[in-house]
Structure 1
């Protein structure tokens, strides 16, 4: 139940023995920590974010659904947070929690107006042309390592391909892609560099808007500038950052996590005949098991309420535990053998502020096409290290690998005789 008969006491506060959603233990096995929190506290739990900043973590599927379905109680405007006075200026999570004049932090009709413009601009992407572009990019990237017989599929493929595809959608040059990819990845990690990386990406988006105002083209920023909603040009850079950040990080990690599954699980043997048929199932299973966006901050409570037996006070922050909600036994598939069509996961969130459908379609087109090209080109690819040696990036929000070393038969390019 969303509201229990017996209310558990207390708002979260540091020093109460609360679980920390950061550090080596959380990084190595967050699923185990979610299970531990659920056993101890139930579907809504007091936790500590980096810097021992208190928050409420919503782990129950029904509770996440309730929060995302009731924006009149759980708002997106973070200026409501009653803890801002205690948050340091260099807090690593500030870029994702501090209010910005963009669609993510707007509410009600203003969000529908701004979010509608973003969705319309994304829906105009030609899916057929996008897949063709991804095939070309994938072939070019594979060409850079095919002859060596070894590759880090994160650094050389999964982290490079999405940003190259997205750069084209944004009307950016390929030269911009490497630094953008590095800064976007850094902005989602821990530490002071996350704040600086966020600032660099936003600055580049400001310049991009200025460029498109002067020379509009058939690209996403130009469509936003021309949209009938009339978005203020000075506010569009924040939307571009959040769109690009979400697209790059989630798409790269969705790709990397899927490749990891296919390289470590015999059900997804990577070969030309079997691998292609299993890509769609693998993509879906990863959204249940290792969703790229594992937590999302958040919602700020508009009025005192009760959730999962907890008294949540006005102004407190609620973190959506998307990965934990997917693991809720009430909704989790008992078997994935026949669950390829089960898309009830919370991986894209839900409700008014859920990931727009066009964005989901773009991400899926990029990931599926990229993996299919890799499987076709390198059909005997295998993991180059024991699976237990793979390391995950230190992020409370994202679930993605630091590296994914692989081996395969070298594929030599044809050379002219003589």
Structure 2
């Protein structure tokens, strides 16, 4: 019998023989079937130490549609081709976000850590299809469109100043935990209607959920409990906030649907925006194209932010789409019920799509990236606007308050959060000249 090819391990490179893994065809694994030979495990240190090489090797060995495994050897396809991802996201009939189609449910343990991320059949904007999805989306968009952008900037500046006041006198700080993470969550929480006192619990529970580790399910349940409590409060006493506008929308939903839509807004707006801030500040502190002008004004901030969306996008992989019927994609046979993961970062890095880092490309005007996904299920435009205002305002206030901000460690020592799904800094230590707090601002 011929020897089977060794599975490709992203932490250690190609098989020892030097030969590429066999190109698996067909469904990576229908319910009860084995994982495809050569499937790439979506875990391992290279996802946060050498990501560029991970996607380069995937593309070399498998092309634009990659057989992968999730924790527990759960099979899926990762779409990293720009054209192929555009094809998947623009066709909600063939590739709906309907997790009820998945052919792996019977193989999953109840404590599978990615359940909160993949979802179970539920009445939320994330996991409904067709007319029901459009009902949820219309309600959410209407509520988000009511957010006053001038007031949002003012709120972001107020919270940013308060956070900076807590460390500006020390001359040093770790700004992921002290600033980049709490700023968008505290701002978003206030916009949605949460009391400020819920902020620390939301940060902790949503971070646990997004990291997909052993505390993911507990974090998900705790965040849901906070949201159920807020829905009950706003039913009794509406306010000038997004949740109250959702409850006042003429289309009626169950309380559980409001809770799940609130979860979608909060989780989608928290860590991606936090990582957008952290990754942009890291770029500006480590890249000479930006670092030389940190104290010279704000003109580099939007350029850095847009480059991050292309090269270092916070949402790397998004779950997901499920094939509604047997089909073909980039030469692969995709079976009905197969899970397709949206490789946003991989598609952004597709050499067929755009010039690589350092080439002559007007990044400040090219917004054709997949950072907010694409198609019917992409991040709603009002939500994109809110994220951009919070992130840009947060970066500008930080640089205005601490104009001599500098990295306190060697860039090579910086570590990423160990997740293939969300890409952000674990820590970002900085130093600066101590300054007095603004006080009662």
Normalised to the residue count of structure 2, the TM-score between the two structures is 0.90
Q: Compared with structure 1, are the counterparts of its residues 219 and 413 closer, same or farther at alpha carbon in structure 2 (3 Å cutoff)?
A: closer
| Structure 2 match to 1:397 | 421
Q: CA deviation at 1:337?
A: 5.8
Secondary structure at 1:101 match in 2: coil
1:60 to 2:81 alignment: yes
| Structure 2 match to 1:3 | none
Quick one: distance in 2 between partners of 1:300 and 1:414?
Answer: 51
| Higher relative contact order, chain-length normalized (CA < 8 Å, sep 6+) | 1
Q: Compared with structure 1, are the counterparts of its residues 414 and 208 closer, same or farther at alpha carbon in structure 2 (3 Å cutoff)?
A: closer
Q: How does 1:4-403 map to 2 (within 5 A)?
A: 9-12=25-28, 13-14=34-35, 16-97=37-118, 98-269=120-291, 273-334=295-356, 335=359, 338-403=362-427
Q: What do residues 11-47 of structure 1 show as CA deviations (whole Å, max 9, x unaligned)?
A: 2243623211112232322331111111011100101
Quick one: distance in 2 between partners of 1:240 and 1:414?
Answer: 33
| Structure 1 match to 2:31 | none
| Structure 1 match to 2:16 | none
**Mind listing any 5+ residue stretches in structure 2 that lack a counterpart?**
1-22, 29-33
Q: CA deviation at 1:190?
A: 2.8
Q: Compared with structure 1, are the counterparts of its residues 211 and 413 closer, same or farther at alpha carbon in structure 2 (3 Å cutoff)?
A: closer
Deviates more, 1:52-61 or 1:91-100: 91-100
Quick one: distance in 2 between partners of 1:270 and 1:229?
Answer: 52
**Mind listing any 5+ residue stretches in structure 1 that lack a counterpart?**
1-6
Secondary structure at 1:46 match in 2: strand
Task: Note the aligned Cα RMSD (angstroms).
Answer: 1.6
Quick one: distance in 1 between partners of 2:51 and 2:291?
Answer: 26
Deviates more, 1:386-395 or 1:125-134: 386-395
Equivalent residues of 1:55, 1:316 under 8 A apart: yes
Aligned pairs, number? 409
Q: CA deviation at 1:273?
A: 4.4
Q: Compared with structure 1, are the counterparts of its residues 25 and 110 closer, same or farther at alpha carbon in structure 2 (3 Å cutoff)?
A: same
Normalised to the residue count of structure 1, the TM-score between the two structures is 0.95
Q: Compared with structure 1, are the counterparts of its residues 48 and 238 closer, same or farther at alpha carbon in structure 2 (3 Å cutoff)?
A: same
Equivalent residues of 2:293, 2:300 under 8 A apart: no
Quick one: distance in 1 between partners of 2:360 and 2:266?
Answer: 31
